[in-house]
Amino acid sequence: ELKVEQNPLFLSMQEGKNYTIYCNYSTTSDRLYWYRQDPGKSLESLFVLLSNGAVKQEGRLMASLDTKARLSTLHITAAVHDLSATYFCATAGRGGATNKLIFGTGTLLAVQP
């Protein structure tokens, strides 16, 4: 059974600081997704990582994927208050029901001024 774990679960950081959120998954996968959710809102797609070594960047966020280690990271550079949200990673495994997207526990990010 595919399991997806994120850490930390909660992250409080000051504006201008850097930090990384980690996402581990339990079975082979070649796709990894990152989503953002604001309080009371839906999930917004941030990144889709499709191969080992894939790296994508958007503004102050950069995501990477290491399929051999079954690990993805979301790096935050020089955080600003607008980045405060819950971040989820998700993957669908490989083979069989490859479209069955399973989510991690989420990381609640609070950026303090």
Binding site for other proteins (CB under 8 A): 31, 33, 41-45, 48, 50, 88, 97, 99-106
Least spacing, CB of residue 74 vs other proteins, in Å: 15
Least spacing, CB of residue 24 vs other proteins, in Å: 15
Least spacing, CB of residue 60 vs other proteins, in Å: 20
* Whole-number Å distance between alpha carbons of 36 and 17: 19
* Whole-number Å distance between alpha carbons of 108 and 86: 4
Which residue, 77 or 105, is less far from other proteins as judged by CB?
105
